[in-house]
Amino acid sequence: MANFKTEQENCWAGNFGNAYIERNLQTAKSQASRLAFWSNILTNIPGGVSSCLEFGPNIGLNLNALGILLPELRMTGVEINEKAAEECAKLDRVSVCKGSILEFETKEKFDLTFTCGVLIHIQPESLPKVYEKLYEYSNRYIVISEYYNPTPTVIEYRGHSNLLFKRDFAGELLDKYKDLRLLNYGFSYHRDNHFPGGDGTWFIMEKS
């Protein structure tokens, strides 16, 4: 396993990340929830999406749902955990770059860049670099689905004190890039009667 620069990267690239894979294997119920989630997101995006880039796809549950909903979609993921990257790469029309989000570079642009439950695990000092990649690699749309808090806070996560951070990620992006505008936002509740989610707040932003 490669040695990465931050504690969080090394944790997700190693055994901690491997255990996450086992806890989050896809079931019929979870697939239905992700299909409903992305159907809602895509309904709120006014233009077409032919390509996307996900930072931290793990085994590709979001990309799998997007591939079902958009059969022509070209998909790319950047995944730090080798086992997860190998599983994600098995999906049709998905190209996976193994490695750190912080070190990822490309000359490509994508109609949509997004994260789902990833920014919350990034070292706060490294967030500006991730924001930059979300913005620079997007032709038009950015979607984030993360735990929201109006002020930055740290939450203990599975016995670790420095692996889960809540804050206003979308607000920071909107403040940083003045040509971004908020299209819509919402909440994915774990007690939804039909399509339970992960209690993340989602935001859709568009470059103007």
Residue 25 belongs to a domain with what CATH number? 3.40.50.150
Greater model confidence, 39 or 7: 39
The Cα angle at residue 108 between residues 57 and 12, in degrees rounded to 5? 25
Once rounded to an integer, what is the mean pLDDT over residues 158-178?
95
The Cα angle at residue 144 between residues 143 and 146, in degrees rounded to 5? 160
Identify whether 19 is part of a domain: yes
The set of residues, in sequence order, having a beta carbon less than 8 Å from that of 15 and lying 6+ positions away, is none
User: In angstroms, what CA-CA distances link 147 with 101, 169, 170, 191, 200?
Assistant: 19, 9, 11, 16, 5
Over 43-80, what HEC string results?
Answer: HCCCCCCCEEEEECCCCCHHHHHHHHHCCCCEEEEEEC
Average pLDDT taken over every residue of the chain? 95
Identify whether 1 is part of a domain: no
Percent with pLDDT over 90 in the chain: 84
Identify whether 28 is part of a domain: yes
Look-up: residue for tokens 């979001």?
A: 62
The gap from C-alpha 165 to its chain's centroid, in whole angstroms, comes to: 15
Residue 156 parent element (H or E):
strand 153-157
Range of the domain at 48: 7-207
| Residue 60 predicted with pLDDT over 90 | yes
How many domains are there within the chain? 1
Identify whether 107 is part of a domain: yes
| Residue 129 predicted with pLDDT over 60 | yes
Q: What is the pTM of this model?
A: 0.95
Q: What pLDDT sits at residue 161?
A: 87
| Residue 191 predicted with pLDDT over 90 | yes
Band (pLDDT 50/70/90 cuts) for residue 2 is: low
Q: What is the pLDDT of residues 89-118, one digit of tens each?
A: 999 999 999 999 999 999 999 999 999 999
Once rounded to an integer, what is the mean pLDDT over residues 157-167?
91
The Cα 118–Cα 146 span in angstroms is 7
| Residue 1 predicted with pLDDT over 70 | no
Q: Closest by alpha carbon to 182, among 198, 199, 202, 152?
A: 202
Once rounded to an integer, what is the mean pLDDT over residues 131-154?
98
| Residue 25 predicted with pLDDT over 80 | no
The Cα 180–Cα 162 span in angstroms is 30
